[in-house]
Structure 1
Amino acid sequence: MSQATLAYVRVSTKEQNIDRQITKMLELGIEERFIFIDKASGKDFNREQYQVMRSIARKGDLIYLDSLDRLGRNYDEIIQEWKHITRSIGADIVVLDNQTLFDSRKFKEMNELGKLMEDQFLSLLAYVAEQERNKILVRQKEGIAAAKAKGKHLGRPAFNLNSLTPDTRKKLEDNYERWSRKELTSVAFAKLLGLKKNTFYKIIEQYKHEIAAEV
């Protein structure tokens, strides 16, 4: 079986751009069909395309990564996956942004000493990758806390009485008494206002309080 050159590309979210990583791999002469792409968190290895690549990798194959954190960000699992690919499968890994240190072919040439050196470098870099992920999580939490402290609403904006359009507001005012006298059902009233059930009852409660405050 001929040896294959593979590449693994990952970004954490669907919004992030993969073009830079893909361009690097194409410039290395890697065929598009051998570039495996995930848009998923690096917290674990339950990623569809990573698992596909892992399943087809064979002894003698060469796998390129842009950086070690593209492989993952979990300290223990990065080491486990690296060793599985390079030692159990017998493929090789090259990390482009640190190719001097992270080219498993070089470590294999040094036999047992190479394994020892590889373990040391891998532990250091995997630890750095995990710490960076932890920093990202901390920054996210701090950003959310700061936004809340400033009174900013995170997520979908809350819908309330003041969110109604003038036309919907008028329909509410014109038909509220009919609804109160049960001449208009809640389902029909909500449909008239174009509101979902939960939102309808929330708006009605707010309107009741508004009326009471005016009395």
Structure 2
Amino acid sequence: MKVGCYCRVSTPDQNLDRQIGSTTSYAQHELGVNLSELRVYRDKATGTNTSRDGYKRLMDDVEAGDVETVVVHEISRLARSLQDLDRTVSRVMGLGATIHFVRDGLSFGDGNEQPMYRLQMQMLGAFAEWEARVKQMNTREGIAARQANPEYHHGPAPLGFEKDDGMLIEGPQYDRVVAVLDMVQKGELSKRSAAKELDTSRRTISRALDRDSLYGL
């Protein structure tokens, strides 16, 4: 039996180890598969569509007959859209392969599924889609709220500052920047020398001086 374990997280900094461990362990202990028969397909991308490299490779291999069984940690890892979920499961089964969702306790295409399994899958898929939409809505609302805040700063942080979720905060070099700008403003230091001192460009120094209120000058 040739098994494909599909694992997905939403962002590059998230870890796939737990899903890989879950799916490969299931394949070994529940399906009796050797490690040599396992392939792991990875994605670090949103599940709201199927334009994912790992997903595409998995489905291509199922279609080619190189994968006979698909194992996924849970339904939301495969798809965040009920339509995509239903289409994927139907496609896998239509190609004569089986698909197992470890955490959800559901299997399709192995001849053992119950009528309630499809309903349960659709309910879980609908919840995953709803959850994804709520997250998207909260993200949009959060961005709008931050942008409405007069302290929200668009674009890169000015010289000497850092950004914390859109808000300007003083960076570790802030005091040094203020001291150098003060000298330039008083004519004690040229912009060229200031740029060299702060390892930046004269243009950046000029922009900082145009916003001298940020530095209390």
TM-score, structure 1 as length reference: 0.70
Task: Tell me, yes or no, if the aligned pair for 1:60 and 1:90 is still in contact at 8 Å.
Answer: no
1:172 maps to what in 2?
181
Q: In structure 2, which of residues 83, 87, 91 is the aligned counterpart of residue 80 of structure 1? A: 87
Q: What secondary structure does 1:97 align onto?
A: coil
2:22 maps to what in 1?
24
Q: In structure 2, which of residues 43, 54, 72 is the aligned counterpart of residue 65 of structure 1? A: 72
2:11 maps to what in 1?
13
Structure 2 counterpart of 1:170, which letter?
A: A
Fraction of identical pairs, as percent:
22
Compute the displacement of 1:45 (Å). 1.2
Structure 2 counterpart of 1:82, which letter?
A: V
Q: In structure 2, which of residues 36, 46, 52 is the aligned counterpart of residue 47 of structure 1? A: 52
Matches within 5 A, 1:11-160: 11-28=9-26, 29=28, 31=35, 34-57=39-62, 58=65, 61-87=68-94, 89-99=95-105, 101-106=106-111, 120-144=119-143, 158-159=157-158
CA 206–143 in structure 1, closer or farther in 2 if over 3 Å, else same: closer
CA 98–171 in structure 1, closer or farther in 2 if over 3 Å, else same: closer
Unaligned segments of structure 1, at least 5 residues: none
Structure 1 or 2: more strand by fraction = 2
Query: Is it true that 1:205 corresponds to 2:205 in the alignment?
Result: no
Task: Tell me, yes or no, if the aligned pair for 2:41 and 2:54 is still in contact at 8 Å.
Answer: yes
Unaligned segments of structure 2, at least 5 residues: 162-169
Q: Which has the larger radius of gyration?
A: 1
Structure 1 or 2: more helix by fraction = 1
Equivalent pairs, count: 198
Return the alpha-carbon distance in structure 2 between the equivalents of residues 175 and 155 of structure 1: 26
Quick check: 197-206 or 156-165, which moved more? 156-165
Compute the displacement of 1:144 (Å). 4.5
Q: What secondary structure does 1:172 align onto?
A: helix
TM-score, structure 2 as length reference: 0.69
Return the alpha-carbon distance in structure 2 between the equivalents of residues 120 and 26 of structure 1: 26
Compute the displacement of 1:198 (Å). 5.9
Structure 2 counterpart of 1:84, which letter?
A: R
Compute the displacement of 1:54 (Å). 1.5
After superposition, give the CA deviation of every residue in 1:43-99 in whole Å (9 maximum; x if it has no partner).
Answer: 111111221122112287011111111111122222222222221x22111111222
Query: Is it true that 1:193 corresponds to 2:202 in the alignment?
Result: no
Return the alpha-carbon distance in structure 1 between the equivalents of residues 67 and 44 of structure 2: 27
Q: What secondary structure does 1:106 align onto?
A: coil
Return the alpha-carbon distance in structure 1 between the equivalents of residues 214 and 125 of structure 2: 58
Compute the displacement of 1:42 (Å). 0.5
Structure 1 counterpart of 2:98, which letter?
A: D
